[in-house]
């Protein structure tokens, strides 16, 4: 019964999304206040019914209702509760429902915060949100119904894919979707501005917090996915340039460019047309990411063609929104008035450069991901584009950008003084240089690029610090005054400094992977092996049981000299429901580095185990830096600027009746 | 998302192909000479496991990947250069085996594309900047006349026409 109600709620949500699409837009077009007044309640109602539908599916999962096909295929009664819940979005149908739920949440949030927004803009924005939601409601109802029943109801479910039964992957999809779908708000604002034919700094002020929020979530989502791949896939890599990873990196790069160009627009009323285009592109890339992953086109062009219903549907959605958005852009963008002027050497100029590099880096990922598909479709020739290609094209585009970040941060708006900036940064540069020399002198092995990479990280961190100190330090000021001034700086300044320092932290973590140590060996019980500065001893191989799996674990002790510093217990798990096996890495965190162990062959007569051991110094910095980036984004969006924007607008008398 | 789901299912497929799920490079494959082994590892990361989804033979646990790793190591021991080993594998399996496609007419767009985007962007910014500077720098005769008439007026009079459109646009 609950399941049918959930299905029905989804149909009602579709109806509401159509109302939301048509009526407020018509109201905005004809300047009819009553019709525009429909926008907010319709958005709230759409959110309510989408949430109800999602809760119904979650209830079916929690109650292990195997008469629902989706639950039967992806759940098992012995599964821990947390994974029953995360099972909802671990499959195609459920994850699309989560996608549209998050879209409805964003529409609801915009409606909630939008009381202060210009009426026509709000109506257009919510209309576009409604249209996107309508397309995905239709997609779910027509091709991917999560509420389909199975008769007769089986007694037991088939279980969740064991690789997905993991805390990292339980929260990775919602985070990633919050990012992907969050960019729909920027898209809707862009389309709204184009329809209205007006765009100004106020527009930028309204759209900026949403973009930052989406960007921060996407950053966390990607970092989470990367960490999951690192510890779950069993060979210790953290980024594979896999098409599914690239699908999330593309909107992130476009979103990063957008977050920067919006600042230019808000502060200086410049780069308007480009910001609108980026808003459309960021969400378009999110849609393309959804298409790539959901359609099966990545496996091969042929697998897409053999089961085309879903793929073709998403392709239609893609063509409609991307094509529609870009057509509208081409048609209406010339109407938009160009904004403020700036000298090439200025903060604006630096941000233009930032956008150019990010756009080119995004193009590298885009071309590299789609080229093999396009080439095969056109000529039938098969080529592979893998990590070596991306390293050869992406790095030359991103490293110059990173080198310039501290300079751009320090330049003044409108007309900058390059010489003055270099003087202000001389301390940061000098310290980073000395740091690089020290790293170079104290490390052994690894390529020359590694100390240089660490130096780049230092430069980014110190450059951000320098931005804070130079804004709070005045000659002769006491330490207390400086601290007070620093604390009094706008949150956006701190957010930017923390986010850029976070990039530096991640860069150091990436560079330090060059000093990693890898050992591949077959160990007998009691045998010891050296791993970088540590020694690892195999104690023995033991069988263990989990709630829904059996495991064979290799118990190992890690010593630093004579001192035991911890244990790693990598295992191989066989999941009862699917009789599939996964490798479970054993991790021991030492400072910011990790000892990483995975096991291959166990069960030999002499009790030996084939193991792969890594010492990964500073590896945690990769993800800690990403968390700092996201934190910087959130701090920046909580800035007073964003909060005072609303009251400033509310003062304007609106000829619109209250709701 | 199940962004990862696809990767995961690919991995599962790979795991099923290998009878016992393991990982890449097994202890018995490792060459005794560390320099040769390092070369083999570096080369392996550039070669695709042909039956896997987007995995190099260094990462993959599929039997075919193991075969290729062994071939690479045998050829390194026989003293062949990296280039010779690659071209041997390309002859045998096609261009598909290279994770970094070689530059050719077919892949020109792939290799040049990202940098073309950068250069194209720079060109657009430069041309746009020049055009706008010219627009702003040169005033038409009517604008010159308007400015002259404004300058002739008293400040009190000129204040209102200048400020009112601004307040107007703000509301």
- pLDDT, mean of residues A93-100: 93
Which B-chain residues 101-140 have CB contacts (< 8 A) with chain A? Answer: 101, 106-107, 109-111, 113-115, 117-118, 121-122, 125, 129, 132-133, 136
- Provide the 3-class DSSP secondary structure of residue A183: helix
Q: Poorest-confidence range of A51-55, A145-149, A447-451, B68-72?
A: A447-451
Residue B20 has pLDDT above 60, yes or no: no
- The residues that bridge with A541 in the sheet, in sequence order, are A554
Residues B89 and B119 in one domain: no
Residues B79 and B24 in one domain: yes
What is the total residue count of chain A? 659
Residue that is last in its domain, among B64, B97, B130: B97
- Interface contact B7-A393, CB threshold 8 A: no
Closest chain A C-alpha to B54 CA, distance in angstroms: 6
Residues B24 and B79 in one domain: yes
Quote the percentage of chain A above a pLDDT of 90.
Answer: 50
Residue A368 has pLDDT above 90, yes or no: yes
Q: What is the 3-state secondary structure (H, E, C) of A567-609?
A: EECCEEEEECCCCEEEEECEEEEECCEEEEEEECCCCCCCCCE
Compute the distance between CA of residue A613 and CA of residue A616 in angstroms, rounded to an integer: 10
Residue A207 has pLDDT above 50, yes or no: yes
pLDDT at A578: 67
- The residues that bridge with A552 in the sheet, in sequence order, are A543, A572
- pLDDT, mean of residues A138-142: 94
Domain assignment present for B41: yes
A536: left (phi over 0), alpha (psi -120 to 50) or beta: beta
**Contacts A357 to B, Cβ<8 Å:** 118
Compute the distance between CA of residue A133 and CA of residue A114 in angstroms, rounded to an integer: 18
Most confident range, picked from A610-624, B25-39, B46-60:
A610-624
Residue B163 has pLDDT above 50, yes or no: no
CA angle A572, A578, A584 (to 5 degrees): 20
C-beta separation of A481 from A507 below 8 A = no
Residues B15 and B87 in one domain: yes
Compute the distance between CA of residue B93 and CA of residue A162 in angstroms, rounded to an integer: 33
Residues B113 and B73 in one domain: no
**Contacts A368 to B, Cβ<8 Å:** 110
Residue B99 has pLDDT above 50, yes or no: yes
Residues B114 and B77 in one domain: no
Residue A568 has pLDDT above 70, yes or no: yes
Phi (first) and psi of residue A534, to 5 degrees:
-115, 165
Q: What tokens were used for A533? A: 């500065």
Dihedral (C-alpha) B51, B54, B60, B66: value to the nearest 10 degrees? 50
Burial of B79 (0-12, 13-18, 19+ CB in 10 A): exposed
Task: Nearest chain B residue to A387 by CA: give it.
Answer: B99
**Contacts B109 to A, Cβ<8 Å:** 367, 371
Residue that is last in its domain, among B97, B132, B160: B97
Quote the percentage of chain A above a pLDDT of 70.
Answer: 94
pLDDT at A105: 96
Closest chain B C-alpha to A367 CA, distance in angstroms: 6
- Interface contact A387-B118, CB threshold 8 A: no
pLDDT at A169: 79
- Interface contact B4-A225, CB threshold 8 A: yes
Instruction: Give which of B114, B131, B169 to mutate to test A binding, by max A Cβ within 10 Å.
Output: B114
- Interface contact A341-B132, CB threshold 8 A: yes
Residues B151 and B123 in one domain: yes
Residue B126 has pLDDT above 50, yes or no: yes
Residue B118 has pLDDT above 60, yes or no: yes
Which of B10, B55, B101 is closest, CB to CB, to A389?
B101
A272: confidence class by pLDDT, cuts 50, 70, 90: confident
**Contacts A341 to B, Cβ<8 Å:** 132-133, 136
Task: Nearest chain B residue to A343 by CA: give it.
Answer: B129
Compute the distance between CA of residue B127 and CA of residue A424 in angstroms, rounded to an integer: 32
By C-alpha distance, which of A143, A295, A421 is closest to B6? A295
CATH number of the domain where residue B32 is located? 1.10.8.640
Compute the distance between CA of residue B33 and CA of residue A489 in angstroms, rounded to an integer: 58
- The answer to whether B13 faces chain A, any CB pair under 8 Å, is no
Which of B8, B26, B109 is closest, CB to CB, to A161?
B8
Helices (DSSP H) in A78-117: which residue ranges? 81-86, 92-113
pLDDT at B57: 86
B22: confidence class by pLDDT, cuts 50, 70, 90: very low
Residues B93 and B113 in one domain: no
Residue A652 has pLDDT above 50, yes or no: no
A51 versus B82: the higher-pLDDT residue is A51
A307: confidence class by pLDDT, cuts 50, 70, 90: low
- The answer to whether B51 faces chain A, any CB pair under 8 Å, is no
Residues B80 and B122 in one domain: no
Compute the distance between CA of residue A507 and CA of residue A525 in angstroms, rounded to an integer: 39
Residues B132 and B159 in one domain: yes
Compute the distance between CA of residue B59 and CA of residue A285 in angstroms, rounded to an integer: 28
Which of A95, A360, A385 is closest, CB to CB, to B118?
A360
pLDDT at B161: 44
- The answer to whether B31 faces chain A, any CB pair under 8 Å, is no
Closest chain A C-alpha to B33 CA, distance in angstroms: 14
A134: confidence class by pLDDT, cuts 50, 70, 90: very high
Residue A600 has pLDDT above 70, yes or no: yes
- Interface contact A522-B27, CB threshold 8 A: yes
pLDDT at A259: 94
**Contacts A397 to B, Cβ<8 Å:** 114-115, 118
Compute the distance between CA of residue B111 and CA of residue A582 in angstroms, rounded to an integer: 37
- The residues that bridge with A594 in the sheet, in sequence order, are A589, A616
Task: Nearest chain A residue to B111 by CA: give it.
Answer: A393
Q: Mean pLDDT, chain A, as a whole number?
A: 87
What is the topology classification, in CATH, of domain A1-163? 1.20.120
Q: Poorest-confidence range of A206-210, A414-418, B104-108?
A: A414-418
Residue A483 has pLDDT above 70, yes or no: yes
- The residues that bridge with A555 in the sheet, in sequence order, are A540
pLDDT at A11: 97
Question: For A455-475, how does the pLDDT look when each residue is reduced to its tens digit (9 = 90+)?
Answer: 999 999 999 998 888 888 777
A304: confidence class by pLDDT, cuts 50, 70, 90: low
B12 versus A401: the higher-pLDDT residue is A401
Q: Poorest-confidence range of A321-325, A412-416, B103-107?
A: A412-416
- pLDDT, mean of residues A230-235: 75
- pLDDT, mean of residues A61-77: 89
- pLDDT, mean of residues A227-245: 82
Beta strands across the sheet bearing A586-590: A517-523, A609-616, A593-599, A586-590
- The answer to whether B40 faces chain A, any CB pair under 8 Å, is no
The interaxial angle of helices A201-232 and A620-637, nearest 10 deg, is 160
Residue A649 has pLDDT above 70, yes or no: no
| Count of structural domains within chain B | 2
- pLDDT, mean of residues A194-214: 89
- Interface contact B12-A163, CB threshold 8 A: yes
Q: Poorest-confidence range of A149-153, A325-329, A570-574, A643-647?
A: A643-647
pLDDT at A500: 95
Residue A155 CB contacts under 8 Å (≥ 6 apart), including other chains: A66
Q: Poorest-confidence range of A634-643, B63-72, B105-114, B137-146?
A: B137-146
Residues B113 and B156 in one domain: yes
pLDDT at A599: 86
Instruction: Give which of A383, A579, A601 to mutate to test B binding, by max B Cβ within 10 Å.
Output: A383
Containing domain of residue B138, as a range?
Answer: 108-170
Residue that is last in its domain, among B97, B132, B147: B97
pLDDT at A6: 95
pLDDT at B137: 63
Closest chain A C-alpha to B151 CA, distance in angstroms: 24
Question: For A173-200, how does the pLDDT look when each residue is reduced to its tens digit (9 = 90+)?
Answer: 899 999 999 999 999 999 999 998 888 8
- pLDDT, mean of residues A246-257: 94
ipTM of the complex: 0.84
Domain assignment present for B102: no
By C-alpha distance, which of A532, A652, A550, A556 is closest to A611? A556
By C-alpha distance, which of A510, A503, A261, A486 is closest to A406? A503
- pLDDT, mean of residues A400-425: 88
Domain assignment present for B72: yes
pLDDT at A302: 53
- Interface contact A244-B99, CB threshold 8 A: no
- The answer to whether B49 faces chain A, any CB pair under 8 Å, is no
- pLDDT, mean of residues A562-567: 91
A13: confidence class by pLDDT, cuts 50, 70, 90: very high
Instruction: Give which of A340, A446, A520 to mutate to test B binding, by max B Cβ within 10 Å.
Output: A520
Residue A358 has pLDDT above 70, yes or no: yes
- Interface contact B6-A299, CB threshold 8 A: yes
Question: For A550-559, how does the pLDDT look when each residue is reduced to its tens digit (9 = 90+)?
Answer: 888 999 999 9
Residue A314 has pLDDT above 90, yes or no: no
- The answer to whether B93 faces chain A, any CB pair under 8 Å, is no
pLDDT at A463: 92
pLDDT at A125: 95
- The answer to whether A336 faces chain B, any CB pair under 8 Å, is no
- The answer to whether B26 faces chain A, any CB pair under 8 Å, is yes
pLDDT at A75: 87
pLDDT at B79: 86
pLDDT at A300: 53
**Contacts A655 to B, Cβ<8 Å:** none
Counting Cα atoms < 13 Å in the Cβ hemisphere of A537 gives 13
Residues B16 and B58 in one domain: yes
How many angstroms separate the Cα of B30 from the Cα of each of A520, A585, A597, A606, B70? 8, 21, 18, 22, 9
Residue A426 has pLDDT above 60, yes or no: yes
């Amino acid at each position: 019964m609950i399941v049918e109600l959930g299905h029905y709620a989804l149909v009602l949500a579709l109806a509401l999304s159509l109302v939301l699409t048509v009526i407020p837009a018509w109201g905005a077009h004809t300047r009819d206040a009553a019709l525009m007044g429909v926008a907010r309640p319709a958005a709230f109602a759409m959110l309510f019914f989408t949430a109800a539908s999602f809760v119904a599916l979650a209830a079916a999962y929690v109650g292990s209702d195997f008469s629902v096909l989706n639950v039967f295929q992806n759940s098992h009664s012995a599964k821990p509760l947390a994974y029953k819940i995360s099972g909802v979005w671990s499959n195609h149908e459920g994850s699309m429902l989560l996608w549209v739920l998050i879209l409805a949440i964003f529409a609801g949030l915009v409606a909630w915060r939008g009381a202060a927004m210009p009426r026509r803009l709000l109506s257009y924005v919510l209309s576009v949100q409604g249209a996107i939601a309508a397309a995905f409601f239709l997609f779910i109802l027509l091709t991917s119904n999560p509420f389909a029943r199975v008769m007769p109801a089986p007694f037991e479910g088939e279980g969740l894919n064991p690789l997905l039964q993991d805390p990292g992957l339980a929260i990775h999809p919602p985070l990633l979707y919050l990012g992907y779908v969050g960019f729909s708000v920027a898209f809707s604002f862009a389309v709204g501005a184009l329809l209205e034919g007006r765009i100004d700094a106020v527009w930028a002020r309204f759209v900026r917090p949403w973009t930052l929020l989406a960007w921060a979530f996407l950053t966390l989502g990607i970092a989470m996915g990367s960490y999951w791949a690192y510890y779950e896939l069993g060979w210790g890599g953290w980024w594979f340039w896999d098409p599914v990873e690239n699908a999330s990196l593309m909107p992130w790069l476009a979103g990063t460019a957008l977050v920067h160009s919006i600042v230019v627009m808000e502060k200086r009323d410049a780069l308007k047309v480009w910001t609108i285009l980026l808003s459309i592109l960021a969400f378009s890339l999110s849609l393309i990411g959804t298409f790539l992953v959901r359609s099966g086109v990545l496996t091969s062009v042929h697998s897409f063609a053999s089961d085309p219903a879903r793929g073709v549907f998403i392709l239609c959605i893609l063509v409609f929104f991307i094509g529609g958005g870009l057509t509208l852009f081409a048609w209406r963008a010339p109407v938009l008035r160009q904004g403020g002027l700036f000298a090439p050497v200025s903060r604006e100029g630096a941000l233009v450069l930032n956008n150019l590099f990010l756009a080119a880096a995004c193009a590298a990922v885009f071309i590299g991901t789609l080229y093999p598909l396009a080439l095969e479709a056109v000529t039938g020739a098969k080529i592979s584009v893998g990590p070596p290609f991306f390293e050869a094209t992406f790095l030359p585009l991103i490293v110059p950008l990173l080198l310039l970040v501290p300079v751009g941060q320090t330049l003044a708006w409108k007309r900058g003084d390059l010489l003055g900036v270099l003087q202000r940064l001389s301390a940061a540069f000098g310290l980073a240089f000395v740091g690089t020399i020290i790293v170079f002198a104290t490390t052994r092995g690894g390529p020359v690029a590694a100390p240089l990479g660490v130096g780049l990280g230092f430069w980014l961190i110190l450059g951000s610090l320098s931005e804070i100190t130079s804004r709070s330090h005045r000659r002769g000021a006491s330490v207390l005054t400086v601290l007070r001034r620093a604390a009094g700086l706008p949150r956006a300044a701190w957010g930017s400094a923390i986010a850029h320092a976070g990039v530096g932290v991640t860069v150091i973590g990436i560079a330090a992977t060059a000093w990693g140590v890898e050992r591949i060996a077959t160990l007998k019980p009691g045998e010891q092996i050296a791993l970088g500065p540590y020694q690892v001893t195999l104690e023995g191989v033991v069988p263990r049981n989990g709630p829904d799996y059996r495991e064979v674990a290799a118990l190992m002790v890690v010593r630093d000299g004579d001192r035991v510093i911890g244990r790693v217990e990598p295992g191989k798990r066989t999941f009862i429901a699917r009789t599939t096996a996964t490798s479970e890495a054993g991790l021991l965190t030492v400072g910011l580095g990790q000892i990483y162990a995975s096991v291959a062959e166990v069960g030999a007569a002499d009790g030996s185990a084939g193991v792969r051991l890594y010492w990964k110094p500073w590896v945690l910095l990769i993800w800690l830096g990403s968390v700092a980036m996201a934190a910087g984004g959130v701090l920046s969006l909580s800035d007073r600027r964003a909060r005072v924007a609303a009251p400033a607008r509310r003062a304007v008398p609106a000829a619109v009746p209250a709701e | 998302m199940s962004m990862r789901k696809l990767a995961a299912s690919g991995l599962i497929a790979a795991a099923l192909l290998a009878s016992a799920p393991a990982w890449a490079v097994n202890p018995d494959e490792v060459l005794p000479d560390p320099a040769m082994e390092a070369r083999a590892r570096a080369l392996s990361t550039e070669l695709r496991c042909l039956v896997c989804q987007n995995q190099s033979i260094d990462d993959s646990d599929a039997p075919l990947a193991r075969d290729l790793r062994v071939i690479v190591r045998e050829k390194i021991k026989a003293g062949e250069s990296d280039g010779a080993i690659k071209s041997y594998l390309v002859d045998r399996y096609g261009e598909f085996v290279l994770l970094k496609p070689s530059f050719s007419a077919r892949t020109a767009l792939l290799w040049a594309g990202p940098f073309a985007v950068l250069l194209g962007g720079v060109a657009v910014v430069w041309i746009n900047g020049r055009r706008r500077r010219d627009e702003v720098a040169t005033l038409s005769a009517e604008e010159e006349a308007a400015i002259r008439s404004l300058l002739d007026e008293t400040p009190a009079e000129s204040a209102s026409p200048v400020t009112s459109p601004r307040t107007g646009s703000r509301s």
